């Protein structure tokens, strides 16, 4: 008898014990004022000043934190906390007129003091590498409570653009004590609840200065598994998939009249990186040969279901200096072989050390097979991303070829950094980048276009394709953005069709 009792008691005991640990979570209400959005990458904490990655700004920027300016759906810089601004003749002094009546979620008013505090704090307290975007700022003057003046050491077009990203977020001096768990911003939402491994609940800020968003509550739900994310929408667990990461699953949504599918572009260039600093890839003929030897159209079809954009340089179509260079190196294995022979390398052995992510894995297969046809033997080595890849490929630059997605906006500037893992050192490009940054916006476009052309001509890398932005939502959800241009998943314009 004792034995049978034990057998029965064991699971019951487990259940009872675990009952003591039950925490709280977000339950998605079925009411119309609540929206549930599914994501794949979960923020590890709420502090984007010391933790890198796209997950935190995706959730918080524009929704919880606001900057002086923001990027609208078309990628234009528009006012947010600044009502307006003027730029001095020499393009180094920016005068911002601030909105009045703005409050942080802790009740403190937003003034020019906070602008000074926030911008200076990037230089002193931030640790993530993006902090260097504020290096150009010489000082911030508080001219009046609603008037902040930012003085740059030299003119910089990139600076105002960067102010639309997380480095431009405005903080309150009394609200930065616990950024990792209690973010305090001026945005329309505040973080009401957090359940690690599951969800973040954003609730509307009653005292918000601007127009109230449609949804009272937004639940950001996190699914590491792409299939689980798709199933959640199919089974009515969420209302929106912020981005589809498995292109094969798109047709099932397109065929279903309950959903809208939006496909646009991102800033994510999937790049086959060449180690420009090391033989044999320090030879431009070899790089050109490898670029000619990969059939990018077929690669996009095979690796990502044809969903994506062929670009040919490090510029997405949403940037002002975009020009279609995708035909610069048409697929031509014959010419590729000839170039390799010319370079004295008819046969090559290269290590393709890639991030162990789906897009890179499938792209690598095509690259290896295409390059095999021109006599280049490619060995694929998937590395744990981000940790191992960052260490070995990015930091130690121990690689010949690599495949990874570069998601930052306007990251074409990395080709001006000779220490970057491209190993690309071209003084002309550095000059052009500097001139573009300090010139007028029109000059910027001209110079940047030239940068893009130069790196393409040099085959500094092989831009395989631009990652698509595929958003799926229930029909009644409106206001979703087709192209992803900012770091934020902007909830403020979402609405509900009636």
Of the listed pieces 87-95, 221-229, 261-269, 457-465, which binds other proteins according to CB under 8 A?
Answer: 221-229
Minimum distance between the CB of residue 125 and other proteins, rounded to whole angstroms? 12
Q: Is the dihedral of CA 388, 181, 268, 126 positive or negative?
A: negative
CA dihedral 98, 102, 103, 105 (to 10 degrees): -100
Minimum distance between the CB of residue 51 and other proteins, rounded to whole angstroms? 5
Rule CB under 8 A: say whether 301 interacts with other proteins: no
Residue nearer to other proteins on the CB measure, 324 or 384? 384
CA dihedral 174, 142, 155, 455 (to 10 degrees): 10
CA distances, 86 to each of 63, 147, 465 (Å): 26, 11, 38
Residue nearer to other proteins on the CB measure, 72 or 417? 417
Identified binder of other proteins from the candidate list 77, 128, 310, 380, rule CB under 8 A: 128
From first CA to last CA, the distance across the chain in angstroms is: 64
Identified binder of other proteins from the candidate list 77, 136, 142, 234, rule CB under 8 A: 234
Rule CB under 8 A: say whether 197 interacts with other proteins: yes
Q: Is the dihedral of CA 179, 184, 186, 187 positive or negative?
A: positive
Residue nearer to other proteins on the CB measure, 88 or 224? 224
Distance CA 387, CA 443 (A): 39
Minimum distance between the CB of residue 258 and other proteins, rounded to whole angstroms? 12
Rule CB under 8 A: say whether 177 interacts with other proteins: no
Of the listed pieces 13-21, 271-279, 299-307, 478-486, which binds other proteins according to CB under 8 A?
Answer: 13-21
Distance CA 149, CA 131 (A): 20
Residue nearer to other proteins on the CB measure, 398 or 450? 398
Q: Closest by alpha carbon to 183, among 41, 45, 332?
A: 45
Contacts of 481 (CB under 8 A, 6+ apart): 73, 262, 264, 471, 490, 493
Region of 399 on the Ramachandran plot (φ > 0 left; ψ -120 to 50 alpha; else beta): beta
Beta strands in 233-278 (DSSP E): 240-241, 259-274
Residue nearer to other proteins on the CB measure, 171 or 223? 223
Of the listed pieces 70-78, 116-124, 126-134, 321-329, which binds other proteins according to CB under 8 A?
Answer: 126-134
CA distances, 297 to each of 305, 324, 333, 460, 483 (Å): 11, 14, 14, 20, 21
Of the listed pieces 229-237, 323-331, 371-379, 430-438, which binds other proteins according to CB under 8 A?
Answer: 229-237
Rule CB under 8 A: say whether 232 interacts with other proteins: yes
Rule CB under 8 A: say whether 224 interacts with other proteins: yes
Minimum distance between the CB of residue 417 and other proteins, rounded to whole angstroms? 8
Distance CA 268, CA 311 (A): 11
Minimum distance between the CB of residue 44 and other proteins, rounded to whole angstroms? 5
Q: What is the DSSP letter of 75?
A: S
Identified binder of other proteins from the candidate list 86, 106, 181, 349, rule CB under 8 A: 181
Contacts of 176 (CB under 8 A, 6+ apart): 121, 125, 184
Of the listed pieces 140-148, 218-226, 329-337, 451-459, which binds other proteins according to CB under 8 A?
Answer: 218-226
Residue nearer to other proteins on the CB measure, 234 or 380? 234
Identified binder of other proteins from the candidate list 33, 88, 106, 127, rule CB under 8 A: 127
The two tokens of residue 69 are 């300016």
Distance CA 491, CA 367 (A): 38
Rule CB under 8 A: say whether 129 interacts with other proteins: yes
Neighbours of 423 (CB within 10 A): 18
Rule CB under 8 A: say whether 124 interacts with other proteins: no
Angle between helices 284-292 and 333-342 (to 10 degrees): 160
Residue nearer to other proteins on the CB measure, 417 or 457? 417
Rule CB under 8 A: say whether 193 interacts with other proteins: no
Burial of 400 (0-12, 13-18, 19+ CB in 10 A): buried
Minimum distance between the CB of residue 42 and other proteins, rounded to whole angstroms? 7
How far, rounded to the nearest angstrom, does the alpha carbon of residue 224 sit from its chain's CA centroid? Answer: 17
- Say how many CA atoms lie within 13 Å of 272 toward its Cβ: 35
Binding characters for other proteins, 30-69, by CB under 8 A (x = yes): ------------x-xx-x--xxxx----------------
Minimum distance between the CB of residue 440 and other proteins, rounded to whole angstroms? 27
Rule CB under 8 A: say whether 251 interacts with other proteins: no
Q: Cα-flanking dihedrals φ and ψ of residue 452, to 5°?
A: -60, -40
- Subset of residues 373 to 432 that bind other proteins, contact rule: CB under 8 A: 384, 386-388, 390-392, 394-395
Minimum distance between the CB of residue 296 and other proteins, rounded to whole angstroms? 24
Which residues of this protein are in contact with other proteins, per CB under 8 A?
A: 1-4, 6-7, 10-12, 14-15, 17-25, 27, 42, 44-45, 47, 50-53, 127-130, 132, 180-181, 195-198, 221-225, 227-228, 231-232, 234-237, 384, 386-388, 390-392, 394-395
């Amino acid at each position: 008898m004792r034995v049978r009792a034990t057998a029965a008691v064991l699971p019951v005991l487990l259940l009872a014990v675990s009952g003591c640990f039950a925490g709280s979570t977000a339950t998605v209400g079925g009411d119309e004022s609540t929206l549930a959005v599914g994501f794949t990458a979960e923020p590890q904490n709420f502090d984007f000043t010391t933790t890198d990655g796209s997950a935190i700004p995706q959730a918080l920027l524009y929704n919880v934190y606001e900057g002086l300016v923001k990027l609208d759906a078309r990628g234009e810089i528009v006012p947010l906390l600044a009502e307006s601004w003027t730029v001095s003749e020499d393009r180094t002094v920016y005068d911002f007129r601030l909105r009045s009546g703005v409050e942080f979620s802790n009740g403190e008013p937003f003034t020019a003091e906070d602008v000074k505090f926030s911008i200076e704090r990037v230089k002193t307290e931030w640790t993530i590498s993006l902090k260097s975007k504020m290096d150009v700022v010489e000082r911030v003057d508080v001219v009046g409570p609603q008037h902040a003046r930012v003085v740059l050491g030299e003119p910089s077009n990139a600076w105002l653009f960067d102010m639309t990203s997380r480095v431009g977020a405005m903080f309150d001096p009394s609200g930065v004590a616990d950024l990792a768990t209690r973010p305090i911003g001026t945005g329309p939402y505040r973080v009401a609840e957090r359940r690690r491994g599951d969800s973040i609940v954003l609730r509307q800020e009653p005292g918000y200065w601007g127009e109230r968003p449609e949804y009272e509550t937004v639940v950001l739900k996190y699914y590491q598994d792409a299939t689980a994310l798709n199933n959640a929408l199919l089974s009515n667990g969420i209302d929106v998939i912020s981005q589809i990461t498995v292109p094969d699953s798109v047709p099932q949504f397109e065929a279903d009249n309950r959903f809208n599918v939006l496909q646009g572009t991102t800033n994510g260039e999937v790049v086959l990186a060449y180690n420009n600093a090391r033989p044999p890839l320090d030879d431009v003929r070899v790089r050109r040969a490898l670029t000619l030897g990969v059939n990018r159209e077929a690669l996009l079809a095979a690796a990502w279901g044809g969903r994506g954009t062929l670009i040919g340089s490090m510029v997405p179509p949403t940037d002002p200096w975009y020009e279609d260079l995708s035909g610069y190196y048409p697929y031509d294995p014959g010419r590729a072989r000839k170039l390799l022979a010319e370079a004295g390398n008819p046969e090559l052995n290269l290590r393709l050390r890639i991030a162990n992510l789906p897009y890179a894995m499938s792209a690598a297969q095509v690259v290896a097979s295409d390059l095999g046809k021109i006599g280049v033997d490619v060995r694929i080595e998937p590395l744990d991303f981000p940790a191992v890849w960052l260490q070995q490929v990015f930091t130690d630059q121990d690689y010949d070829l690599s495949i990874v997605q570069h998601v930052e906006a306007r990251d074409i500037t990395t080709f001006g950094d000779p220490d970057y893992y491209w190993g690309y050192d071209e003084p002309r490009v550095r000059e052009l980048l500097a001139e573009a940054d300090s010139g007028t916006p029109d000059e910027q476009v001209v110079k940047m276009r030239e940068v893009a052309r130069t790196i393409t001509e040099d085959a500094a890398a092989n831009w395989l394709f631009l990652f698509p932005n595929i958003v799926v939502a229930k029909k009644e959800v409106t206001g979703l953005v087709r192209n992803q241009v900012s770091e934020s998943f902007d909830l403020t314009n979402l609405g509900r069709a009636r």
